[in-house]
A and B are shown apart, each in its own frame.
Chain A
Amino acid sequence: MHKVNKKKLTLIIVLSAALLASLVLAINIGAVNINPKIIFSVIVNHMTGREIFQTTWDTSQDSIIWTIRFPRVLVAGMVGAGLALAGVFMQALTKNALADPYILGISSGASTGAVVSILIGTIPFIGKIYLPAGAFAGALLTSILVFVISGAGIKGRSANLVLVGMAISALFTALTDFIIFVNPDSKKLGSVLFWMTGSFASIEWMDCIPAVSALLGGIVVSIVINRELDAMLMGEELAKNSGVNTTLIKVIIIIASTLLTGIMVSMSGVIGFIGFVVPHVTRGLIGARHKNLLPVALLIGAIFMIWADVLSRTIIAPEELPVGIITAMVGAPFFIVMLRKNKYSFGK
Chain B
Amino acid sequence: MDTLNTDIRVKKLDFKINDIQILNDISFSVCKNEVVGIIGPNGCGKSTLLKNIYRHYKPTGGVIFIKGDNIFGLKNKEIAKRLAVVSQENNLEFDFSVIDVVSLGRYAHSGILNNNSKDDEDHIMEALRSVGMQDFADRSFLSLSGGEKQRVYMAMALAQKSEIIILDEPTNHLDIGYQMLLMEMIHDMKDVTVLMSVHDMNLAAWYCDRIIVLLKGKIIEEGIPENVLTRELIRKVFHVDSEVVTRSGDNRMQVNYLNYFK
| A231 to B, closest residue via Cβ | B104
Contacts of B87 on A, CB cut-off 8 Å? Answer: 237-238, 241
**Complex-state Cα separation, A242 to B80, whole angstroms:** 5
Nearest A-chain residue to B86, judged by Cβ: A241
Quick check: is B241 within 8 A (CB to CB) of the other chain? no
A151-193 near B? 1/0 per residue, CB < 8 Å: 0000000000000000000000000000000000000000000
Interface pair A234/B94, CB less than 8 Å apart: yes
Interface residues of B in 92-119 (CB under 8 A from A): 92-97, 99-101, 104-105, 107-108, 110, 114
Task: Name which residue of chain B comes closest to A241, CB basis.
Answer: B85
- Assuming the contacts A1-B138, A3-B138, A226-B114, asked whether A244 and B99 have C-beta atoms less than 8 A apart, the reply is no
A238 touching B97, Cβ below 8 Å: no
Chain A positions 76-100 with a Cβ under 8 Å from a chain B Cβ: 95, 97
Contact with B93, one of A95, A227, A231, A245 (Cβ below 8 angstroms) = A95
A240 within 8 A of B: yes
User: Would B107 and A243 count as touching, CB distance under 8 A?
Assistant: yes
Among A226, A241, A246, which residue has its beta carbon within 8 angstroms of that of B84? A241
Q: Please state if A243 and B94 are interface contacts (CB–CB under 8 Å).
A: no
Min CB–CB distance B245 → chain A (angstroms): 39
Q: State the CA gap A233–B89 with chains docked (Å).
A: 14
Chain B residues whose C-beta falls within 8 Å of the C-beta of A226 in the assembled complex: 114
Q: Which residues of B contact A246 (CB under 8 A)?
A: 76
Residue pair A243, B77 in contact (C-beta under 8 Å): yes
Report chain A residues within 8 Å CB of B91.
235
Residues of A contacting B56 with CB < 8 Å?
237, 240
> Is B262 located at the chain interface by the 8 A CB criterion?
no
Minimum C-beta distance from B134 to chain A (A): 13
| Complex interface bits, B205-218 against A, C-beta within 8 A gives 1, otherwise 0 | 00000000000000
Q: B173 in the interface, Cβ–Cβ < 8 Å?
A: no
B157 to chain A, nearest CB (A): 8
Residue of B nearest to A2 (CB): B138
The chain B residue with its CB closest to the CB of A289 is: B100
Nearest chain A CB to B126 CB, angstrom units: 16
Does any Cβ of B come within 8 Å of A141's Cβ?
Answer: no
Q: Determine if B55 and A240 form an interchain contact, defined as CB atoms under 8 angstroms apart.
A: yes
Q: Is the CB of B90 within 8 A of A242?
A: no
Residue B75 lies at the interface, judged by CB distance under 8 Å to chain A: yes
B15 at the interface (CB under 8 A from A): no
Given A235-B91, A283-B94, also A242-B100 (CB < 8 A): no
Q: Given the known inter-chain contacts A287-B96, A288-B94, please indicate yes or no for A242 contacting B105, CB distance below 8 A.
A: yes
B160 sits at the interface (CB 8 A): yes
Report the minimum CB–CB distance from B236 to chain A (whole Å): 33
Contact assessment for A238 and B114 in the assembled complex, using a CB-CB cutoff below 8 Å: no
Complex alpha-carbon distance, A251 and B114, angstroms: 19
CA–CA, A234 and B98, complex, Å: 12
B81 within 8 A of A: yes
**B138 neighbours in A (Cβ, 8 Å):** 1, 3-4
Q: How far is the CA of A288 from the CA of B156 in the complex (A)?
A: 18
Bound-state CA distance A4–B93 (Å) is 20
* Per-position binary interface string of chain A over residues 205-236, scored 1 when its CB falls under 8 Å from any chain B CB and 0 otherwise: 00000000000000000000011001101110
In the complex, A343 Cα to B95 Cα: how many Å? Answer: 12
Bound-state Cα–Cα, A97 to B92, Å: 12
Known: A3-B138, A226-B114, A231-B107. A238 touches B90 (CB 8 A): yes
A90 to chain B, nearest CB (A): 14
Complex CA gap A1/B96 in Å reads: 12
With A240-B55, A343-B93 known to touch, is A287 a contact of B160 (CB < 8 Å)? no
Q: Is the CB of A227 within 8 A of B110?
A: yes
Nearest-Cβ distance from residue B88 to partner chain A, whole angstroms: 10
Could you tell me the distance in whole angstroms from the C-beta of B155 to the nearest C-beta in chain A? 13
Q: Which residue of A lies closest to B157 (CB)?
A: A241
Inter-chain contact B104/A233, CB cutoff 8 Å: no
Q: How far is the CA of A230 from the CA of B105 in the complex (A)?
A: 12
Q: Given known contacts A237-B89, A288-B95, is B104 in contact with A230 (CB within 8 Å)?
A: yes
State the CA gap A238–B149 with chains docked (Å).
Answer: 14
B residues contacting A by CB (< 8 A) are 54-56, 75-81, 84-85, 87, 89-97, 99-101, 104-105, 107-108, 110, 114, 137-138, 140, 156, 160
29 examples of A-B residue contacts, CB within 8 angstroms: A1-B99, A1-B137, A1-B138, A3-B138, A4-B138, A226-B114, A227-B104, A227-B107, A230-B96, A230-B100, A231-B104, A234-B92, A237-B87, A238-B92, A238-B104, A239-B104, A240-B56, A240-B76, A242-B80, A242-B105, A244-B76, A245-B75, A283-B94, A283-B95, A287-B97, A288-B94, A289-B96, A289-B100, A343-B93
Q: Contact residues of A with B, CB < 8 Å?
A: 1, 3-4, 95, 97, 226-227, 230-231, 233-235, 237-246, 283-284, 287-289, 343-344
The 4 closest A-B pairs by CB, nearest first: A243-B80, A243-B108, A243-B77, A288-B94
Q: Other CB < 8 Å A-B pairs besides A227-B110, A241-B87, 14 of them?
A: A227-B104, A233-B94, A234-B90, A234-B96, A234-B101, A235-B90, A237-B90, A239-B104, A240-B55, A240-B56, A241-B54, A243-B79, A245-B76, A289-B97
